[in-house]
Amino acid sequence: MCGFVGFTNKINDANRVISDCAEKIKHRGPDSDGFYVDGGIAMGFRRLSIIDITDAGDQPIFNEDGSKVLMFNGEIYNYQEIREELIKAGHIFKTHTDSEVLLHGYEEYGTDLLNKLRGMFAFIIWDKNTNELFGARDFFGIKPLYYAKMGETFMVASEIKAFLPHPHFKRELNTTALENYLTFQYSPTYETFFKNVYKLPPAHFFKYKDGKLTTERFWDVHFAPDEDMSLETAVGNISAIFKDSVKAHKIADVEVGSFLSSGVDSSYAAAESNVDKTFTVGFGEDEKYNEIGWAKEFSKFIGKKNYSKVITPEEYWDNIPKIQYHMDEPLADPSCIALYFVCNTAAKHLKVVLSGEGADEIFGGYNIYREPSSVPAYNLIPKPVRRGIGKIAEKLPKKHGVNFLIRRSKDLEERFIGNAFIFNETERKSLLKIKTAAPSAVSITKPFYDCVKSADPVTKMQYIDLHLWMVGDILLKADKMSMANSLELRVPFLDKEVMAVAERIPSKWRVTKENTKYAMRKAAEAATPARTAQKKKLGFPVPIRVWLKEDKYQAIVREAFTSDTAKKFFNTDKLCELLDIHKSGEYDLSRKIWTVYIFLVWYGEYFG
């Protein structure tokens, strides 16, 4: 696992600048660095050595005649198989790393290489003969890849902060991203919070030459459920492919551990991987916010050592600025701070961990996926009547039953934008003092819904989450929080071979009346106790709802809400009103408050 940065060379002191840029992402690779500079490009690299940990694995890596230069972040789990094919084709390897396979593979297969790969990756290849830069990002977006065009300079990097030292980089806030964020709690489009800085979408590659950038998708999820598939077959297929994926994800020349919560995803991964160490964090002693007891009990069950940490409120709040700096863009998911601490705990013992990200999206694990089939009789009410009921309900106090009436008055495509929905468009415009060109939430999700028009509701929701929520929230925090601690995080559920199996499972074996991830839970029962396999989805609980009622933390947030920065963007009286209502206990507005607060903290780190 590593980090890289590059820019087309239009400056005189490129050697100094590329060194400064790479230094910004030293946390991604503290073991070594490497640079390449010529008249067309400057490239910098930071290495966290995992495979071929000798100096031979350092980057940049060159092909036989030195005409192509590679920098790579990630792991290719089937590299040995591809390496053998390339050697038979006449390629000469200088290292035993998975990185070099990408270089010779691109020479041999061109962009067809990408669909041969199994792994997580973001990489760039510079062709000195053609002055063309090629780059690609993995199937699910596990590894990040950003690019920017500033005047005549094109930049690409593993993190946005690597662009900051470049003299051509113009640091400007993208207010459109701010308005979108207020609804989604993350930046949902391929724009970022920095003007003219973009995310390369997952499963895409780019080519840059003579000032022109082209991008193209090379892979996508294609749900094609086999409705005749038996539960026994579904369970057997999942069990076999997950064992295979875990085996592939354990390839390393260093020790591999595993994160562990009380849930089925991390427990299944820890049990199948047979690692020696597991890692858990929690808050206080309330089981709602502390899964350490569950994790220790399960670690004992599989005969492994569990390392845990109880995060104090003071630690949590004190580290928010540093964590938002590492995120590059604001992310209002409270669990990202908890994830930072479990990564920090693991990094004291090893370099690589397995984690359970992705299981919910590909096997149907979120509780919200049960909503379309809940109270089926309500769907018999004619749509115009439901719409009328919803309009009335919108004027009532927002309680659980009322929210049901509002949501079910709308089509799925109108109401479901993913696992987070913070401010609706009326609320966010009322809150903002500034005007932006932000699109509606529905217009952001529509291109994805259009790809699954004929699918069942559960499949549609999974497809939306795979392309928006998982990339913008789940995988963003997984990469940034692990790399902030120089730790490689691997996700065996997010494997294209696992996805190929998941695509065939009918929705009746994904979400049932009994539970979510039904078939996957049944597969997990062979490796975990039934009470673990069947435990309801909990997420990564953080007690911000409780903290935000306490005077100490109310004061911290109120100071931010009345600051000069807040006054630039928001109607601060409305911000303070959110705080007052939450403290009164009338409504739980903690997620709304948190979303604004995190933006203000992040803004202070990058623009303060």
- For residue 270, what pLDDT is reported? 94
Element (H, E) at 147: strand 146-150
C-alpha span between 48 and 304 (Å, rounded): 26
Cα 425 → chain centroid: 24
Mean pLDDT per 10-residue interval, the chain, length 608 residues: 90 95 96 93 89 69 94 95 96 91 97 97 97 98 97 96 97 97 98 98 97 97 96 98 96 90 91 93 72 87 93 95 98 95 96 96 95 77 81 76 79 92 96 95 97 96 98 98 97 97 97 93 94 77 91 97 98 97 94 98 96
| Burial profile 426-448: b = 16 or more Cβ within 10 angstroms, e = fewer | eebeebbeeeeebeebeebbeeb
Catalytic residues: 2
Q: What is the pLDDT of residue 533?
A: 86
pLDDT of residue 31: 87
- CA–CA gap between residue 343 and residue 570 (Å, rounded): 34
Q: What is the pLDDT, as a whole number, of residue 52? A: 62
Q: What is the pLDDT of residue 256?
A: 93
> For the residues of 364-420, what is the DSSP string, one character each?
T--GGGGGGGSSGGGGGS-HHHHHHHHHHHTTS---HHHHHHHHTTS-HHHH-SSS-
The residue behind tokens 């993208």 is 174
Assign residue 38 a region: left if phi > 0, alpha if psi is -120 to 50, beta otherwise?
Answer: beta
Q: How far apart are CA 603 and CA 85, in angstroms?
A: 49
- CB-based contacts of 439: which residues, under 8 Å, 6+ apart? 180, 189
Contact 120, 354 (CB under 8 A): no
Rounded Cα distance between 338 and 544, Å, is 12
- Could you tell me the sign of the dihedral formed by the alpha carbons of 583, 584, 588, 589, in that order? negative
Give the per-residue pLDDT at 59: 87
Helix ranges (H only) for 503-541 are 518-524, 530-533
Give the tokens for residue 43.
Answer: 């490239």
Q: What is the pTM of this model?
A: 0.94
pLDDT at residue 1, as a whole number: 60
Rounded-to-integer distance, Cα 230 and Cα 517, Å: 15
Q: Pairing between strand 352-354 and 488-490?
A: parallel
Kindly tell me the number of DSSP H helices and DSSP E strands found in the chain: 27, 17
Retrieve residue 579's tokens. 């705080």
Structural domains of the chain, with CATH = 2-178+190-217 (3.60.20.10), 231-364+467-533 (3.40.50.620), 543-608 (no CATH)
CA–CA dist 322, 343 (Å, integer): 14
Decide: 202 and 139 in contact? Cβ < 8 Å.
yes
